[in-house]
Amino acid sequence: MTPRGFTFSATNAGVKSPAVTGLDMGLIFCDTDAVVSGVFTTNLVKAAPVLVGMDLVARGTVRAIVANAGNANACTGKEGIDDAMAVTGEVAARLGVGRDQVIPLSTGVIGVRLPAARMIDKIPRLTQGLSDDVQVFARSIMTTDTFPKVACRQAGNAKVLGIAKGAGMIAPNMATTLAVVLTDAKVSKQLLDNIIIKAISHTFNAITIDGDTSTNDTLLALASGYVEEPVAAVEQAITEVIQELALMIVKDGEGATKLVQITVNGAADNAGAKTVAMSIANSLLVKTALFGCDPNWGRIIAAIGYSGVTVNPDKIEITIGGYPVVVSGIEAPGFEENTLYEILKKPEISIDILLGSGSGEFRAYTTDLSYKYVEINSAYRT
């Protein structure tokens, strides 16, 4: 279900090391000027491709995206910018488009320069191998991901396709990791900007795996403009694709065994509800309790209390998997630890919080924290 105008390719360039043999460099090409929107990491330490991408997105249209896994090209100074520009420049020359029409994306190890020469050597293969096979591109940007993340929707005659990567270093404050949303709908830049900003507020900005905001987080949206469809239908399709990608990322959290949905209602405002939800979602004690099926609800109410949001402890209610755990700030009547223990064994868990302070609400998504997460991240470079 490829939107009209877009083609894909991928190859191995040994980006992390010549010993790596899997796909690690990908290309998306649009056969016409595509309207582009983007959101980028709020981390003050921004990778070279983020700095380059932010400038190119502001110009309004692009023709291609070149991405790599295995090397973030972050904290590499002016040389990192030069390396990114060398790669995009060669892609542009091979495709016959302007240098300022190719956006770079990178993910991987921080502090190491791109092997630009190795990557440039593989660009002819990338540009000659373009097809409608989106899966090759999706696989080329994976790092610790266990599966490629692709989602699609129909909006009348228009199509929307999303691709993302991410499993760790997930606590975005813009979008998350690397994600690309493509549509053949005709959409103005201002409208596309508005759709993306609105959509990420309750999708990519509502997920967390480990509390770390990457130096490279980027979400790009491109519209080739071949199909005219009502704005509302296009917006809904784009939002649904982004939501599906966000949940895929949480489900694939490094070492995760559980998907956890945290819904906060009754805060003074939505911002307060989000702060409380993310406080619980990022709590290491809550996440380890979830992994161990430990019915220790005290960790949740503690995370509410230290969130920084003013709450009345006597009004807090907590329900887990539909089972009342806390009522009026104390253990619910008839609460049984064994019942909650059995609920916590499930692969998907809902935690509902009622604060009783107003009408603010927010829903966040997170994972448990397992031994495997430590194993993966303690040996990421070694």
Contact 241, 203 (CB under 8 A): no
CATH 3.30.1330.10 fits 6-251, yes or no: no
Q: Could you tell me where in the chain the CATH 3.10.20.340 domains are found?
A: 259-378
Q: Could you tell me where in the chain the CATH 3.60.70.12 domains are found?
A: 6-251
Return the pLDDT at 31. 97
Residue listed under structure tokens 């998306």 = 28
Show pLDDT as tens, one digit a residue, over the chain (382 residues).
Answer: 899 999 999 999 999 999 889 999 999 999 999 999 999 988 889 999 999 999 999 999 999 999 999 999 999 999 999 999 999 999 999 999 999 999 999 998 889 999 999 999 999 999 999 999 999 999 999 987 888 999 999 999 999 999 998 754 445 555 457 999 999 999 999 999 999 999 988 888 888 755 556 788 899 999 999 999 999 999 999 999 999 998 888 877 666 788 899 999 999 999 999 999 999 998 999 999 999 999 999 999 999 999 999 999 999 999 999 999 999 999 999 999 999 999 999 999 999 999 999 999 999 999 888 777 766 666 555 5
Per residue in 129-157, pLDDT (tens digit) is 999 999 999 999 998 788 899 999 999 99
Return the pLDDT at 175. 47
CATH architecture of the domain formed by 259-378: Roll (3.10)
Ordered DSSP codes for 150-207: EEEEEETTEEEEEEEE-SSSB--SSS-SEEEEEEEE---HHHHHHHHHHHHTTTGGGB
Residues designated catalytic: 176
Return the pLDDT at 88. 98
Contact 138, 149 (CB under 8 A): yes
Per residue in 283-314, pLDDT (tens digit) is 999 999 999 999 999 999 999 999 999 999 99
DSSP conformation class of 315: G
Return the pLDDT at 106. 95
Crossing angle, helix 48-58 and helix 77-95, to 10 degrees? 50
Q: Characterize the bridge pairing of strands 348-354 and 259-267.
A: parallel
Residue 132 has φ and ψ, to the nearest 5°, of: -95, 15
